[in-house]
Amino acid sequence: MTLLFYTASFILDCLLGDPYSWPHPIKAIGNWIQLLTNILRKNFHGKSLYFAGGVLFLLTVGLTGVLTWFILMLSAKIAFWLYAAFFVYFSYTTLAMTCLAREAWKIQRTLLSGDLVAARVQVGMIVGRDTENLTAEQISKATIETVAENTADGVIAPLFYLFIGGPVLALMYKAVNTLDSMVGYKNEKYRAIGFVSAKMDDIANFIPARLSWFFLVIASFILRYDGRASWVIGLRDRKNHTSPNCAYPEGAVAGALGITLGGTHEYFGETVVKPTIGSGTKPVTQKEISQTIHLLYTASTIAFIVFACIYLLLF
């Protein structure tokens, strides 16, 4: 029955994505993080912000786990159909495959229309870097990098934790990931208060990032991209990122498409120097955005099938 719930969740994400008007646990987690961060900043300063960051992490991830568990247990006591509905809905909301694809397609269409200003605004909604002065190629690269990275932490990692610990563990992982995306920056503003969250996100994504590289390589062969280069570049350039995990999926995509990603970017007005990922010399265009989306869907589907098969064997 549980596997049926997981399957329903994956299908719902494929069909619906994340409708903006629907209530969403991740939105609530984001609002909580913002509120708690503001409170902690008023009471902690200097090096004590490292401690505050630990408090922020524990209260956010802990509360997410406790509330999810409580709602599931309470609904189970009321009626099985209510428990099933909450189980599937919570599981479904941890997956971001279709939402991610839609945002990327939206940017691609805007680039094709020639509206560079609008494309900069759109890509600014899904990346952390400054986008005001990006060229069309830089926008395409930023979109591809985001889709590649989020293939890991937006789909495959939540699936990984979902099959291990159900929606409770999957939503706790999403809380960790949301913390990292909001406060896990290595600049003056967030370095202290986001330190714990950033490190815990690195730990949480350690295995899923490497699995994502493997699934993206398989997807590259299936889609008849350069599967061999996807394997080689993913391994060769795995350390070419400030994160210990991001270069795995980005390297797999860069190799598969024969392009180069990464490099120096601006974050909150500060220049962050990063090494490049990949060996491609051709210009990156909107075409590669579509190809990356195809890799996203294919790798995610492979991951679900593999995890489901392992689950059946073990349980």
**pLDDT average, residue stretch 139-162:** 96
Q: Which two tokens stand for residue 305?
A: 């099938």
pTM: 0.94
pLDDT at 19: 84
Nearest residue to 209 via CA among 181, 162, 243: 243
Q: Higher confidence at residue 12 or residue 1?
A: 12
pLDDT at 269: 64
**H/E/C letters for each residue in 92-146?**
HHCCCHHHHHHHHHHHHHHHHHCCHHHHHHHHHCCCCCCCCCCCHHHHHHHHHHH
Is the CB of residue 2 less than 8 Å from the CB of residue 163? no
> Per-residue pLDDT tens for 232-281?
999 999 998 888 999 999 999 999 999 999 876 766 666 667 789 998 88
Phi, psi of 309 (to 5 degrees): -65, -45
Tokens found for residue 83 = 């428990």
The rounded distance, in Å, linking the Cα atoms of 128 and 273 is 15
Mean pLDDT of the chain: 93
SS3 313: helix
What gap in Å lies between CA 57 and CA 202, rounded to an integer? Answer: 14
Tell me the C-alpha distance between 163 and 307, whole Å.
7
pLDDT at 268: 65
Determine the pLDDT at residue 271: 67
Q: Read off the pLDDT of each residue in 292-315 and give the average, rounded to a whole number.
A: 96
